[in-house]
Structure 1
């Protein structure tokens, strides 16, 4: 039971992390210090995509599922839960571009707000 809870928790944290990567830059409009955490999260997300790195949260979820007697993830987190589920796999490049545009727009908003303050 404990490993199943750990797997579900890792999955939920992973979803939250992805939401933060996509939308977290907008939090910096209200709380400017968040931008540094978001820059780190966005850089990590970009590195995972560009260099096909394994995310530690995927590892935790996968191992916890196996220990709970479930099948582990056959693919990465995004490939398992998002690609082909939330959006068709053929639109992966477009989704990635949209995410980049959203992050860039949030950073543009941060710059505008910072300039107005200063």
Structure 2
């Protein structure tokens, strides 16, 4: 049971991390430390998309779920696994890549606009 709870906590943290990457520029324009952390996170997200890696949080969650019940583990990326359950569609890898590029561009625009 503790592995399942820990895996659920990792999912929550992963979700909050994605929300921060999407909306972090709104806070980052005011606070330099948040801006540095946010831009670093965007760079990391971009790099893992380019090299087709999975986020370390995905690996941690899958490992925890496997420890709880091997049947609960999944392969692939965090985003399609959970988004598919919400909207019942599959997201191709290139779609996630395009959304990542758009997100980085939007945030770059936000930071440059506030100067």
Q: TM-score range by the shorter chain?
A: 0.7 to 0.9
Q: Which runs of 5+ in 1 are unaligned?
A: none
| Equivalences, count | 114
Once the two structures are overlaid, the 10-residue window that deviates more, 104-113 or 69-78, is: 104-113
1:11 Cα deviation from its structure 2 partner: 0.7
Could you say which residue in structure 1 is the equivalent of 2:16?
16
Could you say which residue in structure 2 is the equivalent of 1:34?
34
Distance 1:80 1:98, change over 3 A: closer
CA contact (8 A) 2:4 2:65 kept: yes
1:96 Cα deviation from its structure 2 partner: 4.5
1:19 Cα deviation from its structure 2 partner: 1.3
Say what the alpha-carbon RMSD is for the aligned residues: 2.5
Larger Rg: 1
Counterpart CA distance in 1 for 2:91 and 2:60 is: 28
Q: Which runs of 5+ in 2 are unaligned?
A: none
Give the structure-1-normalised TM-score.
Answer: 0.77
Counterpart CA distance in 2 for 1:87 and 1:34 is: 34
Q: Secondary structure at the match of 1:20?
A: helix
CA contact (8 A) 2:29 2:111 kept: yes
Q: Secondary structure at the match of 1:30?
A: coil
